[in-house]
């Protein structure tokens, strides 16, 4: 019986991390086949330069995503900050449903807000400025109009640039802004929020206008560690892969 809902994020799949790809395929072919639904909250891939890219391990991952959705497990996806160019072609090829950057699901009787998490890091002003620019139709059309080889080179340059920029930033700037979290949950009238992005897995208790609320932060997947958040009617658990 399909009575559990799975949540993961921040796998950052790339040819340089085959161990993580194997863990993900293992999940898709075993644990997820019995799930009510699988939610991937962004950064499944370390970079995404367009739906026409077939660099390894993209084709293998697509094949297994399609196999899972075809056998009856729905997969929902929210774009991350690394793979925000995933488009409708990817959805058609895999059967994955693309969600808005803020999406609400009824999780066993409780309205739950889902997002990748980068929008919560409002103290990181340079990143938020780049995000606004890179999510414009004009910027994306311009990038996607370039030859594939150019986009591959740009993605490598961007990853290197991002690495050095992160080294210069304080850890607090790259974490969520607590006031932003509260304002967002109050706006959507929810007492539960699930996100990834920060790579700081935890369960945070929050007070919202006298009500108890919780924020769940999903873990980044690494070579030697990976986990998922599992929800059922009886509650939640963190499950290691």
User: Rounded CA gap, 47 and 69, in Å?
Assistant: 23
Looking at the structure of the chain, the number of domains it has is: 1
User: Rounded CA gap, 151 and 148, in Å?
Assistant: 5
CATH code of residue 229? 3.60.21.10
Kindly give the confidence (pLDDT) of every residue in the chain, 241 residues in length, as a single tens digit, with 9 standing for 90 and above: 689 999 999 999 999 999 999 999 999 999 999 999 999 999 999 999 999 999 999 999 999 999 999 999 999 999 999 999 999 999 999 999 999 999 999 999 999 999 999 999 999 999 999 999 999 999 999 999 999 998 988 877 777 666 656 655 556 667 999 999 999 999 999 999 999 999 999 999 999 999 999 999 999 999 999 999 999 999 999 999 8
Domain that holds residue 39: 5-240
How many CA atoms does the CB half-sphere of 17 hold within 13 Å? 22
Q: First CA to last CA across the chain, in angstroms?
A: 21
Task: Give me the helices (H) in 8-100, please.
Answer: 18-29, 58-70, 88-94
Other Cβ atoms closer than 10 A to 238: 13
Q: Tell me, what's the pLDDT at 50? A: 95
Q: Structure pTM?
A: 0.94
Task: Give me the helices (H) in the chain, please.
Answer: 18-29, 58-70, 88-94, 125-134, 137-144, 148-168, 178-187
Q: Are 76 and 201 in contact (CB under 8 A)?
A: no
Q: Tell me, what's the pLDDT at 2? A: 84
Q: Is the peptide bond before 143 cis (omega within 30 degrees of 0)?
A: no
Q: Tell me, what's the pLDDT at 173? A: 63
């Amino acid at each position: 019986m399909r009575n559990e809902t799975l949540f993961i994020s921040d796998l950052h799949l790339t040819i340089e991390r085959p161990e993580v790809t194997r863990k993900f395929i293992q999940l898709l072919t075993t644990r997820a086949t019995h799930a009510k639904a699988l939610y991937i909250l962004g950064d499944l891939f370390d970079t995404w330069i367009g739906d026409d890219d077939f660099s390894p391990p993209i084709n293998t991952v697509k094949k297994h995503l399609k196999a899972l959705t075809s056998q009856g497990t729905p997969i929902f996806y929210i774009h991350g900050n690394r793979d925000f160019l995933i488009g409708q072609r990817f959805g058609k090829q895999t059967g994955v449903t693309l969600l808005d950057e803020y999406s609400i699901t009824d999780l066993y009787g409780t309205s739950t807000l889902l997002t990748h998490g980068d929008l919560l890091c409002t103290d990181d002003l340079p990143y938020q400025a780049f995000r606004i620019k890179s999510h414009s139709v004009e910027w994306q059309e311009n990038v996607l109009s370039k030859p594939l080889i150019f986009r591959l080179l740009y993605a490598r340059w961007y990853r290197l640039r991002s690495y050095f920029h992160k080294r210069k930033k304080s850890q607090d700037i790259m974490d969520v802004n607590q006031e932003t979290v509260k304002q967002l949950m109050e706006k959507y009238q929810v007492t539960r929020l699930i996100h990834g992005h920060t790579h700081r897995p935890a369960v945070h208790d929050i007070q919202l206008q006298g009500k108890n609320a919780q924020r769940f932060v999903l873990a980044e997947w690494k070579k030697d560690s990976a986990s998922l958040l599992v929800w059922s009617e009886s509650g939640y658990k963190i499950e290691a892969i």
